Amino acid sequence: MIEKLNKDRLIELMLLANTPYYLIRNYLEDDSIRILSATTSSKDIIEKIKELRSKATSIENVVTIFALIISLMIKGDRESELFLQKIGDYNIQWGSYFANYYFSRKRPQIVMSINLDYKLPQHNKNYNASNIMTTFDEFKNKPQIKVL
């Protein structure tokens, strides 16, 4: 899973990161992280983060953990979001920055409002259901669909 990460480049970026967001921005654009994100399940990524957390710290491990977190941010599925919401539990430095970056830029969910903007035809008091069923041409105003 993590063997194909471009570790040298990722470490270089970390060594040059004056701010966490510099790291996050550049990691989000890294091809090796994007491939990892596309080819690995959220569950496996999170398991790997937990595994690496328990090992001795080294810059290689740290960079790998950061890359895995970024891959979750790219995935953006429910499981990834749950992890990011609870990232404070893992005691990962800069963890709050990852979560803040993700949730502050998360696209709002598309709200689709279907406006059935048409009127039922006027019927007289003798109206009955069968009459409506047979007079579709009376619906002159087609329904409008608006995406907000």
Partner 1 sequence: MLIGLNEQSIVLQTRKGTNISNYQSKEISQFNRNLFEKIEHDYPEAFKRTKPTGLYNCHGMTFASRRCFIENSEEILVILKDDDYIEVEYKKVLPGDIVLYFSKDGDVEHSGIVIEKPEPPLYIPKIVSKWATHAEFIHYANNCPYEKSNIKYFRIIE
Contact residues: partner 1, CB under 8 A: 8, 11-12, 14-22, 25, 53, 57-62, 65, 91-94
Q: How far is CA 71 from the centre of its chain?
A: 10
Q: For residue 114, give the H/E element and its range.
A: strand 112-115
- Nearest 5°: phi and psi at 13? -65, -35
- CA distance linking residue 26 with residue 84, whole number of Å: 19
Report the nearest approach of partner 1 to the CB of residue 61 (Å): 7
Report the nearest approach of partner 1 to the CB of residue 112 (Å): 28
Between 50 and 119, name the residue whose CB sits nearer to partner 1: 50
Between 29 and 117, name the residue whose CB sits nearer to partner 1: 29
Report the nearest approach of partner 1 to the CB of residue 94 (Å): 8
- Nearest 5°: phi and psi at 27? -65, -35
Between 64 and 80, name the residue whose CB sits nearer to partner 1: 64
Report the nearest approach of partner 1 to the CB of residue 53 (Å): 7
Q: Are 131 and 123 in contact (CB under 8 A)?
A: yes
Between 14 and 132, name the residue whose CB sits nearer to partner 1: 14
Report the nearest approach of partner 1 to the CB of residue 65 (Å): 7
- Nearest 5°: phi and psi at 130? -65, -30
Between 56 and 129, name the residue whose CB sits nearer to partner 1: 56
Q: Are 57 and 91 in contact (CB under 8 A)?
A: no
